[in-house]
Amino acid sequence: MRFPWKAEYSVGIQVIDQQHRHFLEIADYAHRRSRSFFVSKKEVGSVIAELTEYILNHLATEEKYFKEFNYESFDPENDRLHVKAHDIFRQDMEQYLTKVKDPGTNIKKLARDISDFTGGWLIGHILTMDKKYAPFLLSRGLK
Ligand SMILES: [Fe+2]
Protein backbone atom coordinates (compact mmCIF):
# COMPACT_ATOMS: atom_id res chain seq x y z
CA MET A 1 0.00 0.00 0.00
CA ARG A 2 1.22 3.51 -0.71
CA PHE A 3 0.92 6.09 2.04
CA PRO A 4 1.27 9.55 0.53
CA TRP A 5 1.26 12.35 3.05
CA LYS A 6 -1.92 14.41 3.16
CA ALA A 7 -2.44 17.81 4.74
CA GLU A 8 -5.27 16.40 6.85
CA TYR A 9 -2.73 14.20 8.70
CA SER A 10 -1.03 17.23 10.20
CA VAL A 11 -1.55 17.74 13.93
CA GLY A 12 0.19 21.12 13.73
CA ILE A 13 3.18 20.14 15.86
CA GLN A 14 6.38 20.05 13.87
CA VAL A 15 8.23 17.24 15.64
CA ILE A 16 5.21 14.96 15.57
CA ASP A 17 4.29 15.73 11.97
CA GLN A 18 7.86 15.07 10.87
CA GLN A 19 7.91 11.71 12.63
CA HIS A 20 4.54 10.71 11.19
CA ARG A 21 5.62 11.77 7.73
CA HIS A 22 8.95 10.02 7.91
CA PHE A 23 7.35 6.87 9.21
CA LEU A 24 4.90 6.73 6.29
CA GLU A 25 7.89 7.09 3.96
CA ILE A 26 9.67 4.15 5.61
CA ALA A 27 6.50 2.04 5.41
CA ASP A 28 6.25 2.88 1.73
CA TYR A 29 9.91 2.09 1.18
CA ALA A 30 9.63 -1.25 2.98
CA HIS A 31 6.73 -2.17 0.75
CA ARG A 32 8.58 -1.29 -2.44
CA ARG A 33 11.80 -3.03 -1.41
CA SER A 34 9.99 -6.20 -0.48
CA ARG A 35 8.51 -6.40 -3.97
CA SER A 36 11.90 -6.37 -5.64
CA PHE A 37 13.35 -9.63 -6.83
CA PHE A 38 16.84 -8.24 -6.32
CA VAL A 39 16.48 -7.51 -2.63
CA SER A 40 17.81 -10.17 -0.26
CA LYS A 41 15.95 -11.56 2.74
CA LYS A 42 18.59 -10.00 4.95
CA GLU A 43 17.92 -6.54 3.53
CA VAL A 44 14.18 -6.99 4.01
CA GLY A 45 14.86 -8.00 7.61
CA SER A 46 16.80 -4.83 8.23
CA VAL A 47 14.07 -2.66 6.68
CA ILE A 48 11.57 -4.33 9.03
CA ALA A 49 13.90 -3.61 11.95
CA GLU A 50 14.19 0.04 10.92
CA LEU A 51 10.44 0.38 10.52
CA THR A 52 9.76 -1.18 13.90
CA GLU A 53 12.37 0.83 15.74
CA TYR A 54 11.15 4.08 14.24
CA ILE A 55 7.48 3.57 15.09
CA LEU A 56 8.24 2.43 18.64
CA ASN A 57 10.44 5.46 19.21
CA HIS A 58 7.70 7.65 17.85
CA LEU A 59 5.15 6.28 20.34
CA ALA A 60 7.69 6.91 23.10
CA THR A 61 8.07 10.52 21.92
CA GLU A 62 4.34 11.13 22.22
CA GLU A 63 4.21 9.51 25.65
CA LYS A 64 7.17 11.60 26.78
CA TYR A 65 5.21 14.75 25.89
CA PHE A 66 2.14 13.46 27.71
CA LYS A 67 4.21 13.04 30.87
CA GLU A 68 6.20 16.22 30.47
CA PHE A 69 3.07 18.37 30.13
CA ASN A 70 0.92 16.23 32.40
CA TYR A 71 -1.76 15.37 29.86
CA GLU A 72 -3.21 13.01 32.46
CA SER A 73 -4.35 15.83 34.71
CA PHE A 74 -5.82 17.73 31.77
CA ASP A 75 -7.67 14.86 30.09
CA PRO A 76 -7.31 11.60 32.05
CA GLU A 77 -9.68 9.65 29.81
CA ASN A 78 -7.88 10.39 26.56
CA ASP A 79 -4.46 10.04 28.16
CA ARG A 80 -5.40 6.55 29.32
CA LEU A 81 -7.05 5.52 26.04
CA HIS A 82 -4.17 6.84 24.01
CA VAL A 83 -1.46 4.99 25.91
CA LYS A 84 -3.65 1.88 25.83
CA ALA A 85 -3.92 2.13 22.03
CA HIS A 86 -0.11 2.35 21.88
CA ASP A 87 0.19 -0.70 24.15
CA ILE A 88 -2.11 -2.77 21.96
CA PHE A 89 -0.13 -1.72 18.93
CA ARG A 90 3.14 -2.68 20.65
CA GLN A 91 1.70 -6.14 21.35
CA ASP A 92 0.72 -6.53 17.70
CA MET A 93 4.23 -5.56 16.68
CA GLU A 94 5.70 -8.17 18.99
CA GLN A 95 3.68 -10.84 17.22
CA TYR A 96 5.01 -9.69 13.87
CA LEU A 97 8.56 -9.69 15.20
CA THR A 98 8.18 -13.26 16.41
CA LYS A 99 7.36 -14.20 12.81
CA VAL A 100 10.50 -12.43 11.56
CA LYS A 101 12.61 -14.89 13.56
CA ASP A 102 10.77 -17.92 12.19
CA PRO A 103 12.85 -19.37 9.31
CA GLY A 104 9.68 -20.66 7.66
CA THR A 105 8.29 -17.14 7.25
CA ASN A 106 8.00 -15.57 3.82
CA ILE A 107 9.90 -12.47 4.88
CA LYS A 108 8.99 -10.36 1.86
CA LYS A 109 5.30 -10.97 2.35
CA LEU A 110 5.72 -10.26 6.05
CA ALA A 111 7.40 -6.93 5.24
CA ARG A 112 4.39 -5.96 3.13
CA ASP A 113 1.99 -7.07 5.85
CA ILE A 114 3.87 -5.05 8.47
CA SER A 115 4.05 -2.03 6.17
CA ASP A 116 0.30 -2.16 5.44
CA PHE A 117 -0.60 -2.76 9.05
CA THR A 118 1.60 -0.06 10.57
CA GLY A 119 0.90 2.55 7.87
CA GLY A 120 -2.84 1.96 8.03
CA TRP A 121 -2.79 1.94 11.81
CA LEU A 122 -0.83 5.16 12.02
CA ILE A 123 -3.13 7.07 9.69
CA GLY A 124 -6.24 5.93 11.58
CA HIS A 125 -4.54 6.72 14.87
CA ILE A 126 -3.49 10.21 13.77
CA LEU A 127 -6.96 11.11 12.55
CA THR A 128 -8.72 9.97 15.69
CA MET A 129 -6.44 9.94 18.75
CA ASP A 130 -3.50 12.19 17.88
CA LYS A 131 -5.85 14.94 16.75
CA LYS A 132 -7.28 14.91 20.28
CA TYR A 133 -4.04 15.70 22.09
CA ALA A 134 -2.87 18.27 19.54
CA PRO A 135 -4.79 21.30 20.91
CA PHE A 136 -3.51 20.46 24.41
CA LEU A 137 0.16 20.26 23.42
CA LEU A 138 -0.17 23.39 21.30
CA SER A 139 -1.66 25.21 24.29
CA ARG A 140 1.44 24.19 26.28
CA GLY A 141 3.72 25.89 23.79
CA LEU A 142 4.74 23.06 21.46
CA LYS A 143 5.05 24.19 17.86
FE1 LIG B 1 -0.31 8.28 19.36
- Residue ranges per structural domain of the chain: 20-139
> Is domain 20-139 classified as CATH 3.30.1360.70?
no
Kindly report, residue by residue over 64-109, the tens digit of the pLDDT. Answer: 999 999 999 999 999 999 999 999 999 999 999 999 989 899 999 9
Distance separating alpha carbons of residues 143 and 104, to the nearest angstrom? 46
Distance separating alpha carbons of residues 32 and 120, to the nearest angstrom? 16
Of 9-23, 37-51, 79-93, which gets the smallest average pLDDT? 37-51
d(CA 40, ligand 1 centre) in Å: 32
Q: What are phi and psi of 124, to 5 degrees?
A: -60, -40
d(CA 141, ligand 1 centre) in Å: 19
d(CA 42, ligand 1 centre) in Å: 30
d(CA 48, ligand 1 centre) in Å: 20
DSSP 30-80: HHHHHT-TTS-HHHHHHHHHHHHHHHHHHHHHHHHHHHHTTHHHH-HHHHH
Q: What is the pTM of this model?
A: 0.92
Q: Express as a percent the part of the chain with pLDDT over 90.
A: 85
